[in-house]
Amino acid sequence: MELFSVRGKHAVVTGGSRGIGLMIARGLVDNGAKVVISSRKADACAAAAEELGCDAVPADLSTREGTDTLAGAVRERFDGRVDLLVNNAGATWGAPLEEFPDSGWDRVVHTNVEGIFRLTVALIGELRAAATPEDPARVINIGSIDGLRAPVMENYSYSASKAAVHMLTRHLAKRLAGEHVTVNAIAPGPFESKMTAFMLESPGGREQVAQNVPLGRIGTPEDVVGTTMFLASRAGAYLTGTVIPLDGGITGCG
Give yes or no for a contact between 37 and 56, defined as CB atoms under 8 angstroms apart.
Answer: yes
For 46-84, write each residue's pLDDT tens digit. 999 999 999 999 999 999 999 999 999 999 999 999 999
Give yes or no for a contact between 30 and 7, defined as CB atoms under 8 angstroms apart.
Answer: no
| pLDDT score for 109 | 97
Given a cut of 90, is residue 199 above it in pLDDT? no
Tell me whether strands 34-38 and 10-14 are parallel, antiparallel or unpaired.
parallel
Given a cut of 80, is residue 34 above it in pLDDT? yes
Strand ranges (E), 7-136: 10-14, 34-38, 55-56, 84-87
| pLDDT score for 197 | 66
Which CATH number is associated with domain 2-246? 3.40.50.720
Given a cut of 90, is residue 198 above it in pLDDT? no
Given a cut of 70, is residue 5 above it in pLDDT? yes
Amino acid identity of residue 177, one-letter, is A
- Closest C-alpha among 214, 192, 209 to residue 153: 209
| Candidate list 78, 93, 156, 158, residue with the active-site label | 158
Catalytic residue status for 158: yes
For 141-162, write each residue's pLDDT tens digit. 999 999 999 988 899 999 999 9
Tell me the three-class secondary structure of 156-172, residue by residue.
HHHHHHHHHHHHHHHHH
Sheet holding 181-188, edge to edge: 55-56, 34-38, 10-14, 84-87, 137-142, 181-188, 243-246
Model confidence at 236, pLDDT cuts 50, 70, 90, reads very high
Amino acid identity of residue 58, one-letter, is P
Given a cut of 80, is residue 111 above it in pLDDT? yes
CB atoms under 10 Å from CB of 153, counted, come to: 13
- Closest C-alpha among 201, 119, 134 to residue 165: 119
